[in-house]
């Protein structure tokens, strides 16, 4: 059975780092442009959840491939956290493809072959003043593959080449990659890309396509290939690692019309080329990648360095929070990862977290699970906590009443203290609350709607 993309999502964090700030702080480097930056409470897993929620749009998936160069955990699967946050229950396959940016193309290839969800998320870190810091981007994209009859776009040809050469590398645990002389890789990549593109176009029976996407960490090799193969309207986004190919494909799908052809090239240690054809369904949903890219707000360079752990700053005189414990987190997986509460069958009162005894009518044991992950709520009261332990103080907390019932006291993500007010509308976003004892504490925060709906 031929499979195609039946849904997709793209997510770019709201924060931007201005290169002028970097240049002024370090006293060197280019002062032009800015890069997309994940917040302190975001990682490859949380951004993957944001993108995947868009791709799934409430559907189930039998399998999930998660690609990243920056996994939150090794040894423990990160895809399972995404799977849980998407409310998928226990059934299904969830696996990481973690390591090189080529994992992004790998996840797409796997999901395209077997059916299911390819989720690509990455946080790209470079040493202060480096090209990787300047030219990187953080973000995520997700693609759900299903029956071609329901697809927005269908792959019509694939071709790959592989090359073993020392262009970029990073030992596990190192904060940033190293690379060989730039011109060396240009010469290595050119034939690998050309061969794969030619083979894919031949298989598709095409000599030209409507859209061309070239993705890869090697800026010069990518730019040369983009020019040679006719890429127009290049998304002005830095390289987003394993998420890069997906974000660029999502951007093309955002703009494509039915019946168009798309050539995607992922140039990482070889080239993975796919030719896609859009269907009449393209345009029925959009990820809004460009709108997200154009929105955004600047953060100071010192804040960025602190968020990425490159600047160790003194915290408040408060104990660091305890790491979440395994058994209670496992017992409460649906609540913790999917924001599933319980609704009293007798009186309808919504409990967040789920409870056995109704807080309103005191009925015992007559509850039905209810997910509020997609709920919209209103701020009832709020505070800015300047004393609390946080990787990025101060924290903003709000009491949120959800439309249709339910209340929770939540942290606000991506907000400034002067933006919160009684009556502001919020949605939920999956975040990393803090990391303690090597354990990432994932849970949900609220996000002001004018921010979260900028997409």
Partner 1 sequence: MASKGIRDRVAVVAMGCTTFGEHWDRSTDDLLVDAVTECLAGGALTPDEIDAYWLGTMTSGMSGLTLSRPLAIDHKPVTRVENFCATGSEAFRNACYAVASGAYDMAMAVGVEKLKDTGYSGLVRPPVASDGTSADLTLTAPAAFSLLDPAYCAKYGVDPAAMREAMTHVAWKNHVNGARNPRAQFRKAVPKEKIAGSPLVAGRLGIFDCSGVSDGAAAAVIVRAEDAHRYTDRPMYVKGLSLIAGPGSGPIDPGYDYTTFPEVVASAADAYAQAGITDPATQISLAEVHDCFTPTEIVLMEDLGFSPRGEAWKHVLDGAFDLDGRLPVNPDGGLKSFGHPVGASGLRMLFECWLQFRGEAGERQLDNPTLGLTHNLGGRPGACVSFVSVVGKELSAA
**Token duo for residue 76:** 């423990």
Beta carbon nearer to partner 1, 199 or 388: 388
In the numeric block, the tokens 């697809």 are attached to 151
Interaction between residue 323 and partner 1 (CB under 8 A): yes
Give the closest residue to 217 by CA, choosing from 306, 149, 126: 126
Using the rule CB under 8 A, which residue among 103, 159, 161, 441 binds partner 1? 441
Choose the stretch contacting partner 1; rule: CB under 8 A; options: 118-126, 180-188, 247-255, 379-387.
Answer: 379-387
For helices 182-204 and 219-228, angle between their N-to-C axes, nearest 10 degrees:
40
Using the rule CB under 8 A, which residue among 99, 163, 389, 425 binds partner 1? 389
Give the closest residue to 111 by CA, choosing from 138, 142, 135, 84: 142
Beta carbon nearer to partner 1, 162 or 360: 360
Site map (CB under 8 A) of partner 1, residues 345-374, x = contact: ----x-xxx-----xx--------------
Interaction between residue 392 and partner 1 (CB under 8 A): no
Distance separating alpha carbons of residues 406 and 48, to the nearest angstrom = 26
Beta-carbon contacts of residue 158 (< 8 Å; ≥ 6 apart): 109, 200, 203, 272, 273, 274, 275
Using the rule CB under 8 A, which residue among 137, 410, 415, 428 binds partner 1? 410
Interaction between residue 406 and partner 1 (CB under 8 A): yes
Residue 345 CB, nearest approach to partner 1 (Å): 17
Interaction between residue 386 and partner 1 (CB under 8 A): yes
Interaction between residue 49 and partner 1 (CB under 8 A): no
Buried b / exposed e along 219-251 (16+ C-beta atoms within 10 A): eebbebbbeebebeeebebbbbbbbbbbbbbbb
Interaction between residue 181 and partner 1 (CB under 8 A): no
Distance separating alpha carbons of residues 146 and 70, to the nearest angstrom = 28
Choose the stretch contacting partner 1; rule: CB under 8 A; options: 66-74, 112-120, 202-210, 383-391.
Answer: 383-391
Interaction between residue 407 and partner 1 (CB under 8 A): yes
Specify whether the CB–CB gap between 107 and 120 falls below 8 A.
yes
Q: What is the DSSP letter of 287?
A: -
CA angle at 263 for the pair 262 and 266, rounded to the nearest 5°? 135
Find how far residue 248's CA is from the centre of its chain.
Answer: 13
Question: Residue 48 in 3-state DSSP?
Answer: helix
Between strands 425-436 and 93-98, the pairing is unpaired
**Alpha-helical runs (H) found in 284-370:** 289-294, 301-307, 326-331, 333-338
Using the rule CB under 8 A, which residue among 23, 224, 399, 449 binds partner 1? 399
Interaction between residue 325 and partner 1 (CB under 8 A): yes
Residue 43 CB, nearest approach to partner 1 (Å): 15
Using the rule CB under 8 A, which residue among 67, 136, 443, 448 binds partner 1? 443
Dihedral sign for Cα 371, 375, 381, 387, please: positive
Distance separating alpha carbons of residues 132 and 71, to the nearest angstrom = 18
Residue 404 CB, nearest approach to partner 1 (Å): 11
Beta carbon nearer to partner 1, 216 or 406: 406
Residue 353 CB, nearest approach to partner 1 (Å): 7
Interaction between residue 317 and partner 1 (CB under 8 A): yes
Interaction between residue 388 and partner 1 (CB under 8 A): yes
Using the rule CB under 8 A, which residue among 89, 227, 380, 416 binds partner 1? 380
Using the rule CB under 8 A, which residue among 35, 336, 424, 431 binds partner 1? 336
Beta carbon nearer to partner 1, 296 or 321: 321
Choose the stretch contacting partner 1; rule: CB under 8 A; options: 4-12, 239-247, 276-284, 313-321.
Answer: 313-321
Torsions phi, psi for 444 (to 5 deg): -105, 145
Beta-carbon contacts of residue 227 (< 8 Å; ≥ 6 apart): none
Beta carbon nearer to partner 1, 217 or 324: 324
Residues engaged in binding partner 1 (CB under 8 A): 316-319, 321-325, 327-329, 331-332, 335-336, 349, 351-353, 359-360, 380-390, 395, 397, 399, 401, 405-411, 422, 433-434, 441, 443
């Amino acid at each position: 059975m031929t499979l195609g993309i039946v849904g997709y999502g793209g997510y770019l964090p709201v924060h931007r780092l201005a290169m002028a700030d970097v240049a002024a702080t370090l006293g060197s480097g280019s002062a032009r442009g800015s890069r997309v930056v994940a917040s302190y409470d975001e990682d490859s897993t949380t951004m993957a959840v944001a993108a995947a929620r868009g791709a799934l749009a409430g559907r189930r998936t039998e399998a999930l491939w998660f690609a990243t160069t920056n996994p939150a955990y090794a040894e423990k699967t990160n895809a399972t956290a995404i799977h849980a946050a998407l409310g998928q229950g226990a059934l299904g396959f969830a696996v990481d493809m973690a390591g090189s940016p080529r994992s992004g193309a790998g996840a797409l290839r796997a999901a395209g072959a077997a059916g299911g969800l390819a989720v690509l998320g990455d946080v790209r870190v470079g040493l202060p003043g480096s090209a990787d810091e300047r030219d990187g981007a953080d973000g995520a994209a997700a693609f759900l593959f299903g029956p071609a009859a329901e697809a927005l776009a269908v792959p019509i040809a694939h071709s790959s080449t592989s090359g073993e050469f020392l262009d970029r590398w990073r030992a596990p645990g190192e904060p940033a990659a190293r690379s060989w002389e730039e011109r060396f890789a240009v010469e290595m990549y050119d034939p690998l890309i050309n061969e794969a593109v030619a083979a894919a176009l031949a298989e598709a029976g095409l000599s030209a396509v409507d859209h061309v996407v070239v993705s890869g960490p090697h800026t010069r090799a990518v730019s040369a290939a983009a020019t040679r193969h006719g890429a127009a309207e290049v998304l002005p986004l830095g390289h987003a690692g394993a998420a890069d190919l997906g974000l660029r494909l999502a951007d093309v799908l955002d703009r494509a019309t039915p019946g168009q052809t798309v050539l995607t090239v992922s140039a990482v240690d070889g080239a993975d080329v796919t030719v896609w054809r859009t269907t009449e369904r393209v345009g029925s949903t959009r990820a809004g990648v460009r709108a997200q890219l154009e929105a955004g707000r600047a953060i100071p360079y010192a804040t960025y360095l602190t968020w990425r752990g490159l600047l160790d700053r003194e915290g408040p005189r408060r104990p660091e929070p305890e790491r979440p414990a395994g058994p209670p987190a496992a017992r409460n997986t649906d609540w913790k990862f999917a924001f599933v509460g319980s609704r009293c069958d007798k009186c309808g009162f919504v409990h967040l977290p789920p409870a056995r005894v109704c807080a309103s009518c005191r009925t015992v044991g007559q509850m039905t699970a209810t997910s509020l992950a997609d709920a919209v709520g209103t701020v009832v009261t709020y505070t800015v906590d300047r004393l609390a332990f946080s990787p990025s103080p101060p924290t903003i907390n709000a009491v949120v009443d959800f439309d249709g019932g339910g209340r929770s006291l939540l942290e606000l993500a991506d907000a400034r203290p002067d933006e919160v007010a009684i009556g502001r509308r919020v949605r939920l976003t999956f975040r990393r609350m803090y990391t303690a004892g090597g354990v990432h504490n994932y849970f949900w925060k609220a996000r002001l709607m004018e921010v979260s709906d900028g997409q």
